[in-house]
Amino acid sequence: MRIDDSDVARELILKAIKLGAIDLTIDVMTRPEFVLPDEVLESQTLTRLSVCDASVEFERRNKPLTSSNLKSLTLDCTLTKGDFSYLSRIFPLLEELKMQSVHLNTEDSLSKSELWLQFPCLKKLVIWNCYFAKAKVKFDVPNIRKFVFVGDDVSRLELKTSSREWESYIHIICWDFIGSASWLRSLKQFVKVLSPSRVSLALHLYCRQLRVEDGFVGDDLAIPAVEDLTISGLEVSPEFLNALLRSFRPNFVDIQRRHERGIERCMSKLFTAMFLEI
């Protein structure tokens, strides 16, 4: 569905819900953003839902939304309002969650610095270029099977799981200066938490001035193993590469040099293909 009239869109969406829709994709081009009707989140028939370019309010009129039977949820370029932790309360049976370019408006709803989301049934989690504001978002996913992260900052994200058979794909997009001891330590700690899984780590470099802090000698954290370490984009300094190899223990290292003018095109193709496949 792609129409410009939000009133018509709302009417059609509500009709679909009343008819017992099972799989619903909503993509409405309006400004300001289209506000997702409460009836969609409260539907007891929907099992798959994809929402693009919309505003989602989890606690409208101070009335918490009831839970649904949704199994798969995709949020693309959406703005969330209210306590985002309600996501796990509304969708307790969720097995697949994909969030791409989602703005978690936690500043208006949280006085605490941590946001817990518990998904006991979740098997696949994709977090793609999302903005977490000031809160640290923690996912409790005991049965996770596949985890994908694409973004430039892992410091506000945490994963808790008891699963032992899962895969992690971490793609770090480096726009600005990186290479400090604190940056490496944050990334290392994040990968260490994921170490029970088969971890693939990729760094996509858009910045030229890569170096490590003077006197950097590592830290006391155990060195996490990764299946493969891929570095693509601009030139990698020997100092930065050495620091990476002292922070991670890869089974395979792949360094891909690409011309600066073509890197955005290559990255776009990579991410598009990856998002469609997962």
CATH of the domain at 205: 3.40.50
pTM of the model: 0.86
Residues 278/157, Cβ–Cβ less than 8 Å: no
CA dihedral 130→92→195→74, nearest 10 degrees, is: -30
The domain in which residue 17 lies consists of 1-143
- Residue 154 and residue 214 in one domain: yes
The residue among 176, 227, 234 whose CA lies nearest residue 201 is 227
90 and 10 inside one domain: yes
Residue 272 has pLDDT above 60, yes or no: no
Q: Does residue 151 sit in the same domain as residue 241?
A: yes
pLDDT over 70 (residue 232): yes
Q: Looking up tokens 């290392």, which residue turns up? A: 188
pLDDT tens digit string along 55-87?
Answer: 888 765 556 567 789 999 999 988 887 778 888
Domain match, 127 and 221 both: no
Question: Are 57 and 170 contained in the same domain?
Answer: no
Instruction: Point out the domain boundary residue: 96, 126, 143.
Output: 143
Nearest to 192 by CA among 215, 217, 170: 170
What tokens appear for 117 in the block?
């989301």
Task: Tell whether 99 and 163 lie within a shared domain.
Answer: no
Q: How far apart are CA 232 and CA 205, in angstroms?
A: 6
Closest CA to 93 of 73, 56, 120: 120
Place 209 in a pLDDT band, splitting at 50, 70 and 90: very low
Q: Let me know whether 114 and 175 are in one domain.
A: no
Exposed/middle/buried for residue 219 (C-beta within 10 Å: 0-12, 13-18, 19+): middle
